[in-house]
């Protein structure tokens, strides 16, 4: 027995010795939790983990000099679609799903994932493959095995809606055709449970649902929609998910989707552009996070209005007031862009500028994509912070984003898991 203990500890010593050490010299270093910016700090890394932070110069295998840079934790985007390449109209969407094979879309997705990493986003929660099956699980695997470069991925595979309520819309095509769908469509609680179990078996980290559709504005300016699930269906989904110790992310635009999703047990509300005060109160009470996806709404608003659907323009008119009210009431805000819903070549850090323009301090805006996003993912202390024991997910930029938030659109240096991806 003692012999085994001895050889085990020898094994660990050897493993530790085999892990390379790096010392990063930081000009400025942000503590994302407190918002404090310190000067002349050194980060000591072993393997993929931060060992210590301080002023001491510790002997390391290599030294990275970022003494003229602002250094901070890698960013987290809680709402992406690596398998989509921007869709303003339903035709843009249909073309991708109908004319691009899943292998082709996956090849494109490897580029999206790489772009996210180059944008300084070292972690993504990807919310649905939009008809590309379980290709997100493969992307995550390929990233984790080092086959391709990309962020740390949390995936939700197929995503769920009810029968007949998601593109591709059958009535846009000849009825004889068997068309693919952007989600798994279910009818009834039994099918809902089966769909959740299948997705979890295939490797879903989150279950994504589309809680409402058919958004409209009333004369008093408030918004309503049609809930997609029956009470039984949405409760079955949440129950199955939570039983397996996973969480539900709900696309929900107005109270008809938001209240149904939260009452069933959803942990995050996606978009929520037409939410009202009752939704905000319930979100605060239940600790539900809001990913407001602001830029994407602006991106699609005009094009959709031209085609006769002005609802995104209506959201655009009211979203600033909604955002301010939600912040005042204490709704937990997490950074989520819906990129993929818009072109991957556009800025992924654009939503930060809305947050600051609408009243958050730059550090509060940064926390939505660091400490708060880490909490949402159940990864607090491991990502979204640079501290003893955290993963070495670190980015650097020339300008100080606590003074000018738009600086986050120019990330110059990226490390994930202790490996440098952008020099
Ligand atoms: Zn989305």
Question: Residue 335 sits in a domain of what CATH number?
Answer: 3.20.20.140
Query: Residue 172: pLDDT above 90?
Result: yes
Q: Per-residue pLDDT tens for 174-221?
A: 999 999 999 999 999 999 999 999 999 999 999 999 999 999 999 999
Q: Per-residue pLDDT tens for 272-331?
A: 999 999 999 999 999 999 999 999 999 999 999 999 999 999 999 999 999 999 999 999
Contact predicate 203/183, CB 8 Å: no
Which H or E run contains 397?
strand 394-397
* 168 and 56 within one domain: no
Q: Per-residue pLDDT tens for 327-342?
A: 999 999 999 999 999 9
* 245 and 102 within one domain: yes
Report the percentage of the chain scoring pLDDT > 70: 96
Which residues partner with 142 through β-bridges?
none
CA–centroid distance, 15 to ligand 1, in Å, is 41
* 264 and 295 within one domain: yes
Q: Note whether residue 361 is domain-resident.
A: no
Q: Record the pTM.
A: 0.95
Residue 88 pLDDT class (50, 70, 90 cuts):
confident
Q: What's the average model confidence in pLDDT over 18-42?
A: 97
CA–centroid distance, 209 to ligand 1, in Å, is 10
Q: Return mean pLDDT, the chain.
A: 95
Tokens of 399: 């300008």
Q: What is the CATH classification number for the domain harbouring 33? A: 2.30.40.10
Q: Note whether residue 67 is domain-resident.
A: yes
CA–centroid distance, 253 to ligand 1, in Å, is 12
* 91 and 44 within one domain: no
* 208 and 124 within one domain: yes
Strands (E), 119-266: 121-126, 152-155, 160-162, 184-186, 206-210, 212-217, 223-227, 247-254
Q: Note whether residue 380 is domain-resident.
A: no
CA–centroid distance, 341 to ligand 1, in Å, is 6
Q: Note whether residue 10 is domain-resident.
A: no
CA–centroid distance, 187 to ligand 1, in Å, is 22
Q: Note whether residue 378 is domain-resident.
A: no
Q: Which residues crowd ion ligand 1, with CB under 5 Å?
A: 338
* Chain centre distance of CA 391: 18
Residue 18 pLDDT class (50, 70, 90 cuts):
confident
* 83 and 58 within one domain: no
Last residue of a domain, one of 299, 323, 348: 348
CA–centroid distance, 299 to ligand 1, in Å, is 13
Last residue of a domain, one of 294, 323, 348: 348
The per-residue DSSP string of 335-377 comes to: ----BTTB-TTS-SSHHHHHHHHTT--HHHHHHHTTHHHHHHT
State whether residue 235 is helix, strand or coil: helix
> Half-sphere exposure of residue 70, counting CA atoms within 13 Å on the CB side?
19
CA–centroid distance, 129 to ligand 1, in Å, is 10
Pairing of strands 75-80, 121-126: parallel
Q: How far apart are CA 111 and CA 118, in angstroms?
A: 10
Q: Note whether residue 245 is domain-resident.
A: yes
**For residue 137, what are the domain limits?**
75-348
Q: What's the average model confidence in pLDDT over 100-125?
A: 98
CA–centroid distance, 416 to ligand 1, in Å, is 25
* 210 and 66 within one domain: no
* 288 and 215 within one domain: yes
* 317 and 303 within one domain: yes
* 171 and 46 within one domain: no
Q: Note whether residue 272 is domain-resident.
A: yes
Q: Note whether residue 353 is domain-resident.
A: no
* 392 and 262 within one domain: no
The domain tally of the chain equals 2
CA–centroid distance, 126 to ligand 1, in Å, is 8
48: left (phi over 0), alpha (psi -120 to 50) or beta: alpha
Q: Per-residue pLDDT tens for 361-407?
A: 999 999 999 999 999 999 999 999 999 999 999 999 999 999 999 99
The predicted pLDDT at position 89 comes to: 86
* 322 and 414 within one domain: no
SS3 of 9-69: HHHHHHHHHHCCEEEEEEEEEECCCCCCEEEEEEEEEECCEEEEEECCCCCCCEEEEEEEE
């Amino acid at each position: 027995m003692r012999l085994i203990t001895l050889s085990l500890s020898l094994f660990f010593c050897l493993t530790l010795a085999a892990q390379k050490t790096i010392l990063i010299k930081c000009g400025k270093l942000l503590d994302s939790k407190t918002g404090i910016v310190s000067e002349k700090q050194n980060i000591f890394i072993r393997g993929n983990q931060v060992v210590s932070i301080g002023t001491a110069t510790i002997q390391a295998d290599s030294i990275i000099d970022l003494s003229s840079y602002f250094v901070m934790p890698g960013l987290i985007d809680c709402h992406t679609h690596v398998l989509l390449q921007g869709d303003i109209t339903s035709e843009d969407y249909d073309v991708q799903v109908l004319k691009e094979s899943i292998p082709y879309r996956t090849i494109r997705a490897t580029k999206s994932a790489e772009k996210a990493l180059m944008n300084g986003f070292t972690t993504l929660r990807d919310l649905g493959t939009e008809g590309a099956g379980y290709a997100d699980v493969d992307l995550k695997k390929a990233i984790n095995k080092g086959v391709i470069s990309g962020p740390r991925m949390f995936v939700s595979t197929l995503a769920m809606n009810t029968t007949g309520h998601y593109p591709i819309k059958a009535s846009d095509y000849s009825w004889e055709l068997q068309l693919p769908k952007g989600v798994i469509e279910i009818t009834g609680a039994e099918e809902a449970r089966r769909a959740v179990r299948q997705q979890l078996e295939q490797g879903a980290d989150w279950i994504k649902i589309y809680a409402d559709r058919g958004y409209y504005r009333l004369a008093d300016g408030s918004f309503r929609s049609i809930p997609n699930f029956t009470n039984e269906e949405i409760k079955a989904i949440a129950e199955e998910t939570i039983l397996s110790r996973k969480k539900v992310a709900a696309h929900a635009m107005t109270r008809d989707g938001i209240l149904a999703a939260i009452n069933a047990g959803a942990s995050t509300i996606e978009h929520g552009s037409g939410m009202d005060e009752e939704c905000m109160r319930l979100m605060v009470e239940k600790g539900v996070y809001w990913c407001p996806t602001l830029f994407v709404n602006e991106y699609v608003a005009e094009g959709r209005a031209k085609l006769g659907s002005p609802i995104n323009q209506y959201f655009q008119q009211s979203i600033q007031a909604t955002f301010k009210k939600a912040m005042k009431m204490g709704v937990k805000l997490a950074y989520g862009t819906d990129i993929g819903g818009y072109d991957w070549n556009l800025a992924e850090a654009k939503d930060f500028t809305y947050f600051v323009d609408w009243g958050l301090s730059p550090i509060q805006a940064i926390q939505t994509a660091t400490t708060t996003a880490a909490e949402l993912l159940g990864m607090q202390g491991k990502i979204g912070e640079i501290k003893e024991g955290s993963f070495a997910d670190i980015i650097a930029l020339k300008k100080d984003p606590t003074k000018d938030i738009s600086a986050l659109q120019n990330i110059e240096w990226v490390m994930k898991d202790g490996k440098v991806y952008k020099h």
